[in-house]
Chain A
Amino acid sequence: MQKFQEWFENRHEYAKEWKQRTGGKVIGYFCTYVPEEILYAAGVLPVRILGSHEPQDVTEPHIFGMFCPFCRDCLAQGLKGRFDYLDGITIAQSCLHIRQAYTSWDLHRPREFSYYLPMPHHVQSKRAYPFLRSELAAFKEAVEKWTGKTISDADLDRGIEIMNTSRRLMREVYELRKRENPPLTGLEAMYLVLSGQMVDKREHNAYLEQKLKELSERQPDRQTGERLMILGSEDDDTAFMAMAESLGTTFVVDDHCTGSRYFWNRVEPQEDRLMAIAARYIDRPACPTKDWPERSRLPHILKLAKEWNVQGAIVMQQKFCDPHELDIPAIRKYLEENGVPTLFLEFDVTVPIGQFRIRVEAFLEMLRQEDLF
């Protein structure tokens, strides 16, 4: 499992090396609604832009302080030149926060290709399918113009196959976490998913395929403890995961765009490939920016909690994340009504580990007391 962490921690070296090795183009994406199928079809490597969890002082002139620390952390990476190897950047429409990281990047670190994909918000309307299909066609055309290569149906099939394989493998790993003693920790699962957003999926898939059997036979060298779920906004805070699991608990499942939301559903084959891809993104577990008029996440999250047999949920959000702030009171109420206690935490670029440890400990103590009675 070490490999996934190494990939995650050396993402820039990996991408630079990939470019050198393949001579291909690398594109940075800001949101997981970007259809990577089309990028793989074009032979372009998509890498997700994430922050570095270091305090920084370069974004103040660009993003007003009321927007989330995550979008500022992402932009800081661009302004500090850490992603200078990117040939292009792209975003699929989601929240206003991360959009600003993209637009400021577009203004101040221009790349040869920059694309804003108006991913519809009303994913619960059947009207979203033909609209997204038409936007995907425009995106495909723009990518073709950029790379100078036409994307054929066969290319799209290949792109879909790469993405679907990755999704299938990740689901298989998550299935293992249902076990009484999951063979991997939440932290390891986080590295696994995050590295998949940064590494060539073909390489990631091959390695994961090979590791899956080993993982399935692995005996954890630690007690599982309380089975927790973590859910909320973007979360690649490995320091928090490590701290929480060091307290004798295990995260067995999540609802994050850096976790299960990213790979949950697959492209279902259709003759019209772009329509098939469009349907996959419209039908995926929603980001709260798109989860209306119904809150489809409520039953989805509860289903995860039941199937993975969780005892409690940590509900986190990036500070100032309005879309999640608009869902969290409803989610907490719903989970608690259904017997899943919750702990709410607000994350910043760095979290005060000491304070958070006390809160997690208190939460675990509460769960243990419930066990007693």
Chain B
Amino acid sequence: MITAGVDVGNKFTKVVILGDGRVLAKSAVLSGFDQAAASEEAMAAALDKAGIGRDDVQHITATGAGKNEVPFARSTVTEVGAGARGALYLFPAARTVVDVGAEEGRALKCNEQGKIVDFAINEKCAAGAGSFTEAMARALEIAVEEMGPLSLQSTRAVPMNAQCAVFAESEVVSLIHAKTPKEDIAHAVHDAIASRVISMVRRVGLEKDLALIGGLAYNAGFVRSMEEGLEVKAQVPEDPEYVTALGAALVAAEKAGEEA
């Protein structure tokens, strides 16, 4: 059985095609203004990679901020539900899942079936999400991809009080003026964002294992700050960005099973 999950995120639209429990193909495109077009584009790319046609896919489930904009999806699932499903598929022992994307950070707690027990989502503030690191990278005049590796070179924790992204940016500027080494500032940025995310984790209550998913989990500096802050080793998948799409594809497989 072949199914697909489409995760229309704030920044990227991701597709995962699943064949009998195995990932056949993945693709990601910028979501842009036209989410329907982006999902079409991402789907076409994934089908192409998998070497199959749309008709071979039995069920497509959409998730993410733009889940209702996917014209070809048969069903939808919330990003909270999909994130937990995907994470548990990869790490069956995971009970707390942290999902940080471009504009939203979430902490989910689930049981062994992947059922959501509690969740927390950041409010109207980017200080706990990926775009925050982007803004800070801009202030540091480095590429966002460099943030993680750079911060790992730091051995010193500089306190930063990131209640708000704008305020934090001015703190970064102050640190630059104070000749603080860039790696320490990058470290401080990750500690600050991790602190926001950890607050959400504490809200739902940490239960092991902890899985980190979403685009920000690519950033090794953020992962380190999370692990240090929570004093726990985190499970990070190879492609953290695709986990929610994978979860949607798993939901699709379930739906296809029900229909059969």
Contacts and interface: CB of A to CB of B under 8 A. Distances in A.
A54 B159 contact: yes
Interface string B202-238: 1101000000000000000000000001000000000
B162 interface: yes
Interface in B162-192: 162-163, 167, 170-171, 173-174, 177-178, 191-192
B146 interface: no
Contacts of A58: 199, 202
Given A348-B161, A350-B161, A60 B202 contact: yes
A164 B216 CA distance: 58
Contact of B195 (A57, A61, A65, A348): A57
A350 B177 contact: no
A55 interface: yes
Interface string A271-293: 00000000000000000000000
A150 interface: no
Interface residues of A, number: 18
A335 B192 CA distance: 38
Contact of B174 (A56, A319, A349, A355): A355
Contact of B162 (A54, A55, A61, A69): A55
Nearest to A59: B199
A350 B198 CA distance: 19
A353 interface: yes
B202 A57 contact: yes
Contact of B159 (A59, A350, A354): A350
B171 A61 contact: no
B48 interface: no
A59 B198 CA distance: 10
A354 B177 contact: yes
A57 B196 CA distance: 7
Nearest to B178: A354
Give the secondary structure class of A's interface.
loop
B165 to A, nearest CB: 13
Interface in A64-90: 65, 69
A276 B30 CA distance: 72
Contacts of A348: 161, 163, 167
Interface string A89-110: 0000000000000000000000
Contact of A353 (B174, B194, B199, B205): B174
B145 interface: no
Interface string A210-232: 00000000000000000000000
A356 to B, nearest CB: 9
Given A354-B178, A355-B170, A355-B174, A57 B160 contact: no
B188 to A, nearest CB: 9
29 contacts: A55-B160, A55-B161, A55-B162, A55-B191, A55-B192, A55-B195, A56-B195, A57-B194, A57-B195, A57-B196, A57-B198, A57-B202, A57-B229, A58-B202, A60-B200, A60-B202, A60-B203, A61-B199, A61-B202, A69-B163, A348-B161, A348-B163, A350-B159, A350-B160, A350-B161, A352-B167, A352-B170, A354-B173, A354-B174
Given A60-B200, A348-B167, A352-B171, 12 more contacts: A54-B159, A55-B160, A55-B191, A55-B195, A57-B195, A69-B163, A348-B161, A348-B163, A350-B160, A353-B174, A354-B170, A355-B170
Ranked nearest first, the 9 interchain pairs of A and B with the lowest CB-CB distance are A354-B174, A60-B199, A350-B161, A57-B195, A57-B198, A61-B203, A57-B199, A55-B161, A352-B171
